[in-house]
Every structure is written in C-alpha cells, then in structure tokens.
C-alpha cells in the first residue's frame, strides 16, 4: 500500500482530503486516484439523502428502513479488474464527520451478486468507514450460473473480491482522512461467514477482528448436504413431507424436550440433549393425516436429523439439522426442486453441465470429485489460524441452533478443528463460539436472536475484554419480550430458579 503522501501527490493535494470542502469537491477528487485495474467515482451525499440503487431480483434484502436519516458521507463506487474477466463492483462509504478511525467490511449471502447496503448503513451509523462488494457479478443470491466456464469470476467470488476491496478501501481511507484505519473489522454471516474465515486463513493482516456467523465455509459439503435432504424428501414421492407436517413434528419435539433445560419456553437450550424419534408420531398402518408421518416420511425425517454420509465408508460428509428446527425445513425439503444454490454448484462448477440432474448425485465419488476440483478455492475450512492469531486477531463466531440452511454442527466441527490444531489455550485467547438457542439462519426464530456481536468484538480487540456471554433479545412487534444470555460454547444458559424466565439477569452460564 502506498503512503498517504504519495497518494495525495497523485491527486495534486498537499493535505488530507477530509473536511477540505463542504461542497463535495474534496470527495470528488478521490476519483482522480490512479489505482491499477481500478475505475473510481465519488460523490458527497448529504445527511438523509442516500437512496440505494435497484438490486437484482433475488439479491440482497432491500430493507428501506435502514437508510432513514443516514449521516453525510463521501460515497465512492469502484470497479476492480484484477483479471481480464473480472468486473468487481465495490462501494466505500466514508463518514463526512465523526469517523471512529476504523474500517468495517461487510459480507454477502448465497452466491452474492449484490451489495448488502443495509449492512453498510448500520456500520456508517456507528461511525465506521465501510466497504462492500458484489464479489464480481450481478444476480440472484441463488444463481451460480456466473461461474460456468468463468474460472476468474469464480476466483473473485471465492476470495479475491473481498481481499481486493479491502486493500482498495484502506487506500481510499488514507487518501481522504490523511491516515489509514487504526483497526479493521469484518462482519458477515452465511457466505459472509465463509468470507471472514477465508480472510483470516488467506490474508491474516486484512482485519483485526472478525464477526463470523453461520459460516458456509465447507461449501462442497454444504451443497452436498442440501442435496442429501432433497434425495431424502423429493426424489421419491412417498417420502415427501408436506409443510403442515413440519408443525406436527416440531410440536412432538418441543413437547418431549422443552423441559430438559428446566424452562418451558418453546426453545431447546441444547438440542443435542433431545432424542425424539420421528417414529413417535408415525401414522397407524394404512392411514395418513397432517398430524402424523407415514413410514417413508419417518425415514426421511430421520435422514434430515442425521448427517449426510458416504454410503461406502459411512464417514460423515456434513452434520444434519438439529431438533427444534423443523419449522424451517421447508427451505430444503419442501421442493419442488432442491435449492439452486446447491444444484448450481454441481452443475456449473463440478460437472460443468447445465443439464445435470441432482437425482444422479453419487455421495461417494461425486463428493470426492467436488473436493478435488475445489482444492481450497471456495472451502474455508483450514484450521491453521496461527498467522491471524499471532497478529492479535480475534474471531467471534455465532450460530443459531435452529438454522434451517447450514447445520450448526458445521460451525462446531470447524471450531473443534481449530482447537485440535492450535490447542484450547491458544484458541480461547483468539476465537470464541456462541450458540444461539431457537435462532434461525443468521437471524430470526423463536429464541432470542438480536445481539450486538460487533460491540463485544470491539471490546475484545480494543480492551482485551474477552466475551463470556452475549445478551440476546427476542422481538415481538418490534419490541423485546425476552432476553437471554448466549453462552461461550460449550456452556449453556441455566435458570437460577428465581425471577422471570424472560429476563437474562436470571440465568447463569454453566457447563453441562
């Protein structure tokens, strides 16, 4: 990265751009920076004036309420072309005043294809300079066609776009403010979680703190698991489970296991203590009803709870969904076809055949082929985070137990692999995992799922105050109706026996 002085010389200024012109001239001059393979545009945006551009169908959530009253900023848009087939769109937002001296990079979901503007807005409100990217293509989060016969675009999506946007953002920050960010944070869930881990593994100096939710870091096996569920429920009509039956199975699980944590609240504190067999609601022979499962449906539900396995060796490919998550099973099991995120992986990357049929997937040979082709490109499951930790980097991970798209067991498996690689003492100083009972994929669900992970991460990085628990809230009609601590894994929240069970103050974190 060039020095601030050399950057300023490029655009003919002897002083930092920040604050030099209320009419936006200083912001506009950022477009004159000459960065290799980069096209820049910049504009001053007044307080409350930002309006997000149209997003592609199936792209990032629009969430218009996130943009009301945004503070003034210098908005930089960039196109990065690190390869001849690259077309990476990036936005960098620089607070016009009140900059906290830090950078926040925000992630994507699915196959990306658009910028998560609402996450940028949240970071800007907190005083951050913030950066995001579409990862090199425009389209639906469920559409992987961009990767078909475009290996450079796939590389951009896999890791290059996030790294390049981070480097570019730091250059722009230094040019605008006269100094680079004193600290840089990552904030992402799902694909954003995978991106955060890839950064720590591949570019350990890009970020000091990583807030990492429900990471899609084992992409080849995650795609396989989605198709495992499709094989169990969609391949054979007799095994298909109608949506209304998910409620019946969920009720059976809650009725049997809700009291295991001594608090009946419709949420399982530790789903792995629950052993309900779907056979418990099997229909009498020769009958069917919305409140019971037929014998083939029982077997299908067992496969959803169980891990995807190699049929030849019996080895686990990817862990199953947890008990308590049944109300979200429609995402993978309701059909009429599997998630395109997963089928596209095999169609356009593994087999490079748009006509490939998911019903032909061989859970032995084809999974091995997918792993071999990936060779660490998309997958971010390298447990050796020593370089990141040695720089003082911190990773705060979280995952909802009711996640309906990415099994929470995947995050636990990765966390445990890092512990095995580096030892528990090293990991406890640099990486912490919090499981959220009743939380769905990244947000939502019956359990408390709203919490300020970034504040906890900031305290850890900046004040060496390692988080022991996070206070989460469940919202009803936009207002909290329950709070609960999320405990440092593998501890769980235990009711003290007095006071409201809707108040986090009446719970302690204990190992069980």
So where are the chain's domains? 1-96+111-181, 221-374
State the Cα–Cα distance between residues 451 and 211, nearest whole angstrom.
12
- Per-residue pLDDT, 63: 87
State the Cα–Cα distance between residues 440 and 462, nearest whole angstrom.
30
Single out the residue of 350, 327, 385 nearest to residue 199, CA to CA: 385
- Per-residue pLDDT, 5: 38
For residue range 80-138, list pLDDT tens digits in order: 999 999 999 999 999 999 999 999 999 999 999 999 999 999 999 999 999 999 999 99
For residue range 364-411, list pLDDT tens digits in order: 999 999 999 999 999 999 999 999 999 999 999 999 999 999 999 999
Q: What are phi and psi of 254, to 5 degrees?
A: -65, -40
Checking if the pLDDT of 275 tops 50, the result is: yes
Tokens of 270: 């530790």
For residue range 473-509, list pLDDT tens digits in order: 999 998 999 999 999 999 999 999 999 999 999 999 9
Label residue 14 by pLDDT band (50, 70, 90). very low
Q: Average pLDDT of 34-39?
A: 96
Checking if the pLDDT of 6 tops 70, the result is: no
- Per-residue pLDDT, 62: 84
Checking if the pLDDT of 237 tops 80, the result is: yes
Single out the residue of 396, 63, 436, 20 nearest to residue 200, CA to CA: 396
For residue range 39-88, list pLDDT tens digits in order: 999 999 999 999 999 989 999 988 888 999 999 999 999 999 999 999 99
**Which pTM does this prediction carry?**
0.94
Q: Are 504 and 483 in contact (CB under 8 A)?
A: yes
State the Cα–Cα distance between residues 485 and 507, nearest whole angstrom.
7
Q: Are 347 and 356 in contact (CB under 8 A)?
A: yes
Checking if the pLDDT of 17 tops 70, the result is: no
Label residue 26 by pLDDT band (50, 70, 90). confident
- Per-residue pLDDT, 7: 34
DSSP 443: S
Burial class (CB within 10 angstroms; exposed 0-12, middle 13-18, buried 19+) of 77: middle
Residues facing 213 on adjacent strands: 189, 398
Single out the residue of 8, 27, 178, 191 nearest to residue 93, CA to CA: 27
Residue 63 gets the label, from left (phi > 0), alpha (psi -120 to 50) or beta, of left
- Per-residue pLDDT, 64: 86
Number of residues in the chain: 512
Which DSSP string do the residues of 380-432 spell out, in sequence order?
------HHHHHTT-EEEEEEETT-SSS-HHHHHHHHHHHHHHH-HHHHHHHEE
State the chain's mean pLDDT as an integer.
94
- Per-residue pLDDT, 61: 87
Helix or strand holding residue 198 (H, E):
helix 191-202
Helix or strand holding residue 299 (H, E):
helix 295-305
For residue range 252-268, list pLDDT tens digits in order: 999 999 999 999 999 99
Window from 54-63, 146-155, 316-325, 428-437 with minimum mean pLDDT = 54-63
Residues designated catalytic: 190, 403, 441
State the Cα–Cα distance between residues 331 and 241, nearest whole angstrom.
12
């Amino acid at each position: 990265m060039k020095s601030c002085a050399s950057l300023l010389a490029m655009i003919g200024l002897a002083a930092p751009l920040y604050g030099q012109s209320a009419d936006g001239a200083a912001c506009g001059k950022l477009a004159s920076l000459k960065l290799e393979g980069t096209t820049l545009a910049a504009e001053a945006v007044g307080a409350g004036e930002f309006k997000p551009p149209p997003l592609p169908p199936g792209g990032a959530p629009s969430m218009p309420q996130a943009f009301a009253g945004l503070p003034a900023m210098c908005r930089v848009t960039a196109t990065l072309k690190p390869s001849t087939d690259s077309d990476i769109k990036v936005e960098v937002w620089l607070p016009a005043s009140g900059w906290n001296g830090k950078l926040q990079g925000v992630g994507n979901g699915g196959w990306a294809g658009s910028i998560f503007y609402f996450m940028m807005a949240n970071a800007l409100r907190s005083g951050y300079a913030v950066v995001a990217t579409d990862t090199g293509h425009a389209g639906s989060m469920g559409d992987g066609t961009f990767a078909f016969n475009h290996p450079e675009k796939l590389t951009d999506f896999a890791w290059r776009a996030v790294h390049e946007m981070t480097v570019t953002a730091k250059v722009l920050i230094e040019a605008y403010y006269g100094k680079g960010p004193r600290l840089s944070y990552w904030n992402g869930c799902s694909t954003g979680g995978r991106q955060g881990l890839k950064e720590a593994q591949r570019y350990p100096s890009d970020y000091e703190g990583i807030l990492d939710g429900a990471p899609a870091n084992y992409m080849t096996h995650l795609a396989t698991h989605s198709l495992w569920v499709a094989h169990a429920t969609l391949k054979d009509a007799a095994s298909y489970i109608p949506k209304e039956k998910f409620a019946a199975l969920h009720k059976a699980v809650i009725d049997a296991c809700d009291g295991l944590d001594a608090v009946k609240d419709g949420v399982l504190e530790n789903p792995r203590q629950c052993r309900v067999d779907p056979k418990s609601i099997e229909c009498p022979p020769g009958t069917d009803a919305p409140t019971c499962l037929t014998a083939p449906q029982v077997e299908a539900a067992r496969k959803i709870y169980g891990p995807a396995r190699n049929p030849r060796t019996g080895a686990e490919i990817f862990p199953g969904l947890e008990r308590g998550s049944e109300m979200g099973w429609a995402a993978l099991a309701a059909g009429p076809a599997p998630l395109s995120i997963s089928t596209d992986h095999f169609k356009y990357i593994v087999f490079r055949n748009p006509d490939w049929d998911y019903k032909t997937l061989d859970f032995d040979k084809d999974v091995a082929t997918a792993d071999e082709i990936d060779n660490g490109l998309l997958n971010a499951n390298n447990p050796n985070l020593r370089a990141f930790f040695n720089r003082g980097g911190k990773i705060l991970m979280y995952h909802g137990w009711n996640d309906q798209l990415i099994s929470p067991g995947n995050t636990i498996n990765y966390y445990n692999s890092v512990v095995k690689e580096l030892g528990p003492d090293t990991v406890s100083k640099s990486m912490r995992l919090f499981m959220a009972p009743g939380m769905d994929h990244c947000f939502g669900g019956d359990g408390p799922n709203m919490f300020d992970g970034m504040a906890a991460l900031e305290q850890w990085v900046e004040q060496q105050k390692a988080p022991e628990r996070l206070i989460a809230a469940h919202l009803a009609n936009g207002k909290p109706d329950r709070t609960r601590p999320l405990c440092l894994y593998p501890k769980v929240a235990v009711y003290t026996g007095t006071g409201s069970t809707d108040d986090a103050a009446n719970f302690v974190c204990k190992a069980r």
